Amino acid sequence: MLMTIDVGNTNIEIGVFDSDNLVGTWRMVTKTRRTSDEFGVFMITLLNARGIDPQSIKDAIISSVVPNIMYSLVNSIKKYLDIDPMIIEPGIKTGISIQTENPKSVGADRICDLVGAYFIYGGPAIVIDFGTATTYDFITEKGVFNAGVTSPGIQISADALWSKAAQLPNIEIEKPKSILAKNTITSMQAGLVYGYIGQVEYIVRKMKEETGCFNAKVIATGGLAKIIFSETNSIDIMDPVLSLKGIKMIYDRNKQVKI
């Protein structure tokens, strides 16, 4: 079995593949102040709780946008699973062509999303990842990534509201029954959710206009994708484990090199 790990700014997502079948997924909060023992015990506990023998994990691969976490995380896998994990970093084979102004600055998370989207759903495509930041990435029919948009994530926007305005509370992100809000909490929820729906629809429309790819599939992923997906026709597909699938594909493409 293969363990795939996607380290984001807010959460760490872990998946275990048995051949091409994703047999287990877990999420944990990203904290930079964890020891390798804490990571290791946590992973072993999760595997055992799902009935997966830790000794059945034969390899691992990590995608990370949080450098400070990597020393402890990598060493936990070495210590508790006896595996030297593959790291997704510049130079690794992905199967797509990155043609931005500075390809090395593109986050591993975006690359994994694009790989998963392109090889599962085809191109042209716009991949939206509703994470800590919300990213909109365009990949061509030939697998070329050359343009993207980055905006504050929904949670960042919500946090900014209540932390910067003394009389606004911390709220749960959900769509109210009506945009015509009658109290503070629902007015904030309306602004966040309806505003974000408008953002998604406008950015997707402009990206299609400027690329000329009006038939581009729009694929959404990320923890908050489901809030927006059900409220707009601008998104065609929601795949909550797209990044893990992309990480697995990158592993398959590089495993012979690693050996």
Q: Which amino acid is at 167?
A: Q
Q: Is the CB of residue 28 less than 8 Å from the CB of residue 42?
A: yes
Identified catalytic residue from 59, 82, 84, 109: 109
- Which residue, 110, 108, 145, 106, is CA-closest to 125? 145
Residues listed for the chain = 259
- Angle CA(206)–CA(223)–CA(164) in degrees, nearest 5? 80
Q: Is the CB of residue 49 less than 8 Å from the CB of residue 67?
A: no
Active site residue 113: no
Q: At what angle do helices 242-258 and 108-121 cross, to 10 degrees?
A: 100
First to last CA, the chain: 16
Catalytic residues: 109
